[in-house]
Structure 1
Amino acid sequence: MNQSVIKALNLLNLFDEKNYELSLKDIANRANLPKPTAYRLLSALEAMNYVYKIKENEHDSRYRLGLKLLELGQLVSDQLEVRRIAYPYMEKLAYDIQEAVHLVVLNHQEATYIEKVESNKAIRLYTRIGKSSPLYIGSGPKLLLAHIQKQKQEEILNLAGNTINREKMEKELRRIRTEGYSYSIGEQDENTTGISYPIYDYRNNVIAALTVSGLSTYFEGDSLQQIKAKTEDTAARISRKLGFRGFVQGVVDSS
């Protein structure tokens, strides 16, 4: 474990509602570090906008928490909100279609499953909350990949290298954006199918994928069409609850 990283992050814990501003001397003393070491760690945090420095004179610098922490806190808040709002809708969807329902969000260069409602079927898929997956495997991850900024998308595809067919993947991502949903067959688990629709926030950004998955034999014919229609409608309703006001095909009302 990188001790420098741990020491730097521990410096952030020195700030609280009673100590929103601390001098270099205060920080070094509270962290039991030499001043040069504390200064080096603070400089690294400052470069990443986790703290910012107020220099009162050449001998005295004071520090406050930076706006990067506010940005990260908002991301956490958004994820907690979508999870809280989505859960009762996910429960109803799982009951209606008798398949497992997941909530998937972007987590740096991966997709992470942050909520799940199991199906009542005897045969169940093994998935867990907290599981992460590459963004090019599975319907939920691919849906998220299709809606991120082009530059970041290119970086992720470049990192995937020869593990994917680049031309085929880019074509699929275009299809996802055009048709509004994603699907996968046997990509994460053999003989399984996944269908995903986007969840939007009040800024009209895709912040999560609502994913249903189960044995491929249940995702055929009329059953498949029903699953798609109900999943699309549920994703639209969750988006409305999050403040999205754009057009979402499939939503009947704003309840």
Structure 2
Amino acid sequence: MNQSVIKALKLLDLFTEDQQELTLKEISHQANMPKPTAYRLLSALESCRFLYKTKETEHDSRYRLGLKLLELGSLVSDQLELREIALPYMEKLAQQINEAIHLVIVTQDEATYIEKVESNRALRLYTRIGKSTPLYIGSGPKLLLAFLPEDQQEKILTEDKLYFLGDHQPVHRKSLIRELEKIRQEGYACSTGEQDADTTGISYPIYDHSGSVVAALTVSGLSSHFEGENVTFIKTSTKNKAREISTQLGYRGEGFAG
């Protein structure tokens, strides 16, 4: 791991409720590092808006925590609120259909699983909270990709190589674009065998108060469970719970098809 990055981030820990503003001299002393080194690291943090300089003289500078930390803190808070709101509905859905339920969001250019409720079945899927996958593999990630702004979609779709996870077979870009359009039209996503063999996933969008898709509510299980009347029941139940979660987040639109 890059030691300079670690040293820079440790400087942020020096700022506390009692020490909301520190000088270069104080930071250098408390971090036990030469002033030129401290200044270089502080300048890097300042350029990324983790710190801002409140005063600078010929002999010293003063720093406070920057707004970038507030932005990141707000994102974490939003994720925690989403998980807290969604979890009871996920647990009810798991009881109704007895399949694994996941909550998936976009982090940078990947899909990340931030919550999970297991089924009661003896054979369970291996997924974990914090797992990240490409946005073009699996029903949850593809649903999120389908509702991303065009510029973000374009960035992902123009990557040099797109591969499925398991067999590393190439993803056909034109087919994927057609599938994303179908997801937007139908209002849900379905995939089979894309992350794990013989498994199926069905996902519906979760909207926030602004009408933006902020997460995917995903049901996953053995493909043999997703047949006939049962798959209709799974789809209806999942869509209803996605709508209920969205309502709790302030959504008042009509964005649920499927």
Instruction: Please give the range of the TM-score, normalised by the shorter of the 2 chains.
Output: over 0.9
1:112 and 2:133 are equivalent in the alignment: no
Separation in 2 of the partners of 1:153 and 1:33? 44
Counterpart amino acid of residue 241 in structure 1: Q
Verify the 8 A CA contact 2:187 2:255 in the aligned structure 1: no
Matches within 5 A, 1:181-196: 181-196=188-203
Hey, what does 2:238 align to over in structure 1? 231
Separation in 1 of the partners of 2:2 and 2:226? 47
Hey, what does 2:168 align to over in structure 1? none
- Report the identity percentage: 64
Separation in 2 of the partners of 1:160 and 1:144? 21
5+ long unaligned stretches in structure 1:
251-255
Hey, what does 1:141 align to over in structure 2? 141
Counterpart amino acid of residue 5 in structure 1: V
Counterpart amino acid of residue 217 in structure 1: S
Aligned length: 250
Separation in 2 of the partners of 1:41 and 1:187? 43
Verify the 8 A CA contact 2:188 2:203 in the aligned structure 1: yes
Relative to structure 1, the CA distance from residue 162 to residue 245 in structure 2 (aligned partners, 3 Å threshold; closer, same or farther) is: closer
Equivalent of 1:244 in 231, 234, 251: 251
Verify the 8 A CA contact 2:15 2:22 in the aligned structure 1: yes
TM-superposed deviation, 1:201: 1.8
Hey, what does 2:125 align to over in structure 1? 125
Task: Please identify, of 156-165 and 202-211, the stretch whose mean Cα deviation from structure 2 is larger.
Answer: 156-165
Counterpart amino acid of residue 57 in structure 1: T
CA offsets 1:148-182 (integer angstroms, 9 cap, x no match): 22222222223362532111111111222222111
Equivalent of 1:175 in 149, 169, 182: 182
Separation in 1 of the partners of 2:114 and 2:162? 29
Task: Please identify, of 121-130 and 97-106, the stretch whose mean Cα deviation from structure 2 is larger.
Answer: 121-130
TM-superposed deviation, 1:246: 2.1
Counterpart amino acid of residue 192 in structure 2: I
Counterpart amino acid of residue 158 in structure 2: N
CA offsets 1:122-158 (integer angstroms, 9 cap, x no match): 2221212222111111111111112222222222223
Counterpart amino acid of residue 183 in structure 1: C
Matches within 5 A, 1:1-255: 1-159=1-159, 161-163=161-163, 164-249=171-256
5+ long unaligned stretches in structure 2:
164-170
Task: Please identify, of 199-208 and 136-145, the stretch whose mean Cα deviation from structure 2 is larger.
Answer: 199-208
Q: CA RMSD in A?
A: 1.5
Relative to structure 1, the CA distance from residue 96 to residue 84 in structure 2 (aligned partners, 3 Å threshold; closer, same or farther) is: same
Task: Please identify, of 9-18 and 54-63, the stretch whose mean Cα deviation from structure 2 is larger.
Answer: 54-63
Separation in 2 of the partners of 1:148 and 1:186? 24
CA offsets 1:200-234 (integer angstroms, 9 cap, x no match): 12232221110001111111222111111110110
Aligned partner of residue 19 in structure 1, secondary structure:
coil
Counterpart amino acid of residue 98 in structure 2: Q
Aligned partner of residue 159 in structure 1, secondary structure:
coil
Counterpart amino acid of residue 24 in structure 2: L
Counterpart amino acid of residue 89 in structure 2: Y
Counterpart amino acid of residue 72 in structure 1: L
Verify the 8 A CA contact 2:187 2:256 in the aligned structure 1: no
Task: Please identify, of 239-248 and 45-54, the stretch whose mean Cα deviation from structure 2 is larger.
Answer: 239-248
Aligned partner of residue 207 in structure 1, secondary structure:
strand
TM-superposed deviation, 1:80: 0.8
